[in-house]
Each structure stands twice: as structure tokens, then as C-alpha cells.
């Protein structure tokens, strides 16, 4: 997997998205991060799970763990922005 970078919203510096977040967002959005680099759904997922949308990164980390631990199938989740 190639590294994915997004702009940090305060300083606009390029920061790397951690691989577990890339993997989670890929599975959640059904988009390929390598092909759909400029997709806003992927970028929003990265930012949310990195703690830039008002929810702490620690809470989002536990949400990802719960999803994998309970094996919640993503196909049954319908995002509200669709």
C-alpha cells in the first residue's frame, strides 16, 4: 500500500494518514485510495478518524477496533451522505 497524505487543516502541511485508517476507510467507503485520491468521502473519513472533525482520534480508534472485533459487515451500513 502506498502512503496516503492529506493536508493538515490548521497548518496546511502534508501529513501521512496512518495505514490502519487507510485500510478502514477503504473498506468503509468501498473506494480504492490509490485510484480515488481526490475523493471527498475518503478524505473526510481520513480526517474524521485522525481527530480533525471534533471527535477525538482515540474515540475513533476504539470505534475501528469495535468494528473489526465484532466483524460488523460494511455492506449493511448505508452512509447518510449517499
Provide DSSP, 8-33. Answer: -TTT--EEEEPHHHHHHHHHHHT--T
pLDDT of residue 81 exceeding 60:
no
Residue spans per domain, the chain = 16-69
Mean pLDDT over each residue of the chain, to the nearest integer: 82
Q: In the prediction, which pLDDT does 42 show? A: 92
Distant-in-sequence, close-in-space partners of 68: CB < 8 Å, separation ≥ 6: none
pTM: 0.73
Provide DSSP, 27-60. Answer: HHHT--TTT-TT-HHHHHHHHHHTT-SSS-HHHH
34 versus 67: the higher-pLDDT residue is 34
Q: How many angstroms separate the CA atoms of 21 and 64, rounded? A: 8
Amino acid at each position: 500500500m502506498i502512503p496516503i497524505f492529506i493536508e493538515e487543516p490548521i497548518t496546511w502541511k502534508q501529513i501521512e494518514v496512518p495505514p490502519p485508517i487507510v485500510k478502514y476507510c477503504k473498506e468503509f467507503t468501498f473506494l480504492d485510495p490509490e485510484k480515488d485520491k481526490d475523493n471527498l468521502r475518503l478524505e473526510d473519513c481520513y480526517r474524521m478518524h485522525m481527530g480533525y472533525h471534533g471527535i477525538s482520534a482515540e474515540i475513533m480508534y476504539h470505534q475501528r477496533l469495535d468494528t473489526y472485533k465484532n466483524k460488523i459487515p460494511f455492506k449493511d451500513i448505508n452512509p447518510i451522505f449517499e
